[in-house]
Chains A and B, each alone.
Chain A
Amino acid sequence: DTAVSQTPKYLVTQMGNDKSIKCEQNLGHDTMYWYKQDSKKFLKIMFSYNNKELIINETVPNRFSPKSPDKAHLNLHINSLELGDSAVYFCASSQGGNSYEQYFGPGTRLTVT
């Protein structure tokens, strides 16, 4: 069974569109994250959620809206997509904050044209 899954794996869309990426973990973890990895492989945290509550919002434009319907899911909705949003987005989870190892999903490669 996949521990952390994301859908879709690839997403190609035009500027101005709205899209969502879904993430689910079956590890029973309390904490979930969204990261953005740019073309130079630099990985930057976007959001952290703990027990469905937003803990960290790392100065992400408000076009990005995470939603956690329950502890096992953390979805990412992006409005009015821009060229600079093209990247690989990773979801991750951990047992309880970053004193524990994080488990990463396979990533969603978003291409905005």
Chain B
Amino acid sequence: SQQGEEDPQALSIQEGENATMNCSYKTSINNLQWYRQNSGRGLVHLILIRSNEREKHSGRLRVTLDTSKKSSSLLITASRAADTASYFCATDPNTGGFKTIFGAGTRLFVKA
């Protein structure tokens, strides 16, 4: 199975609600990143959290990292219809710095 695995696979919420997505990984990492992909488009970087950090914020995004549990979560607060997209976690598995492993993604649908 893959290094990064997100859950849930799909999430449907109402506009204004919060959305939480989780990511688990298997090996030690240097950092973990979250990306968004709108339908038919390339991935867009959201946030990077290093292995020595526990929490990071960017606008309505909050990312946590628990290296002891090998897991991360992405929280989107006050969601908007425009947040509808797939969200991927990506890990740097400490293998020299040029191999990024993406999880299977969470498909978020925000209903207006």
Is the CB–CB distance between B100 and A45 below 8 Å? yes
Q: What's the Cα separation between A45 and B88 when bound, in Å? A: 14
Indicate with 1 or 0, residue by residue over B2-44, a CB within 8 angstroms of chain A CB atoms.
Answer: 1000000000000000000000000000110101010011111
B-binding segment of A11-19, A50-58, A77-85: A50-58
Q: Which bracket fits the contact residues of B? A: 20 to 34
Instruction: Find chain A residues with CB under 8 A from B92 CB.
Output: 98-99
Is the CB–CB distance between B42 and A90 below 8 Å? yes
Is the CB–CB distance between B104 and A41 below 8 Å? yes
Is the CB–CB distance between B44 and A104 below 8 Å? yes
Q: What's the Cα separation between A98 and B97 when bound, in Å? A: 5
Is the CB–CB distance between B45 and A99 below 8 Å? no
Asked if B84 is at the interface of the complex by the 8 Å CB criterion, the answer is no
From the candidates B41, B86, B97, B105, name the one contacting A99 in the complex (CB within 8 A). Answer: B97
From the candidates B42, B86, B105, name the one contacting A104 in the complex (CB within 8 A). Answer: B42
Residues of chain A touching chain B, judged by Cβ–Cβ distance below 8 Å, are 4, 31, 33, 35, 40-45, 48, 50, 55-56, 58, 90, 92, 97-107
